Amino acid sequence: MKLELQSRNALIAGGSRGIGRSIALAFAQAGANVSICARGETALRQTESELNALGHKVHAAVCDLADGAALWRWVDDAAMALGGIDVLVNNASGFGASDNEDGWAASINIDLLASVRASRAALPHLERSKGSILHISSIAGLMPSVRTPPYGAVKAALIQYTKTQASQLAGKHIRVNCIAPGSVEFPGGIWEKRRTDDPQLYKAVLDSIHFGRLGTPEDIAKVALFLASDAAAWVTGQTIAVDGGQMLS
């Protein structure tokens, strides 16, 4: 099966590093025009350069996704730069770990509300293209999340929203799906830091994964490419856990 996104226009919110970067690169390698946004300009421009090297249309913008007006501008500007929207990927996370006002606000404003707002902004374009939306949740939303209550609760809300949104938009032939990654390690990411800062926790998580390793951003990007492609044309309202068996423990 050949997965292609030839001449499709894809927006990846939180696309400068980690999972978002890998999804953006995988989409571009499959022939898509890509727009990414992120708060940090250095990583954004580096990923923009990598995308440009693949020879398709590229748009990149610094954007604080907690700012609704800024998010809406990014979607509108990206649609204009690329020539429409076929795929929207809501990947950004505020990583609200602490069970206090700041932790809850970070998760709600970025993980959940930014996904809702980006979907609304992109909807007129997706209606024209009969496109698709992909949310990036977490296995933390599928089970108790004692270490990170806000993160787990909001990721669970995103999984529920996927089903509701898929039902709302099915009549418009817009597909909505979700990926729930397990623990994913990449340079500068949380699990790379925990390898050195909290080796006991890192080992416990590693030991819980049946495949014997943490995930990579590329593991998630391959599933994202499938869900965005025509190979998944009859798949909607689904959440796929990509965790190497982590939840089987």
Flag whether pLDDT at 71 surpasses 80. Answer: yes
Other CB atoms within 10 Å distance of the CB of residue 11: 30
Question: What is the reported pLDDT for 69?
Answer: 97
Contact 178, 238 (CB under 8 A): yes
Can 151 be counted among the known catalytic residues?
A: yes
| Domains of the chain and CATH, by start | 9-248 (3.40.50.720)
Flag whether pLDDT at 141 surpasses 80. Answer: yes
What confidence tens digit (pLDDT) does each residue in 224-239 have? 999 999 999 999 999 9
* Separation in Å, CA 226 to CA 21, 22, 95: 16, 14, 26
- Catalytic residue from among 151, 161, 186, 202: 151
Cα angle 62, 161, 72 (rounded to 5 degrees) comes to 25
* Separation in Å, CA 69 to CA 11, 33, 61, 72: 17, 24, 14, 5
pTM: 0.96
In this prediction, residues 48-74 reach a mean pLDDT of 96
In this prediction, residues 165-183 reach a mean pLDDT of 98
Contact residues for 230 (Cβ-Cβ < 8 A; gap 6+): 4
212 CB burial (10 A radius; 0-12, 13-18, 19+): exposed
What confidence tens digit (pLDDT) does each residue in 85-124 have? 999 999 999 888 889 999 999 999 999 999 999 999 999 9
Flag whether pLDDT at 81 surpasses 80. Answer: yes
Question: What is the reported pLDDT for 96?
Answer: 81
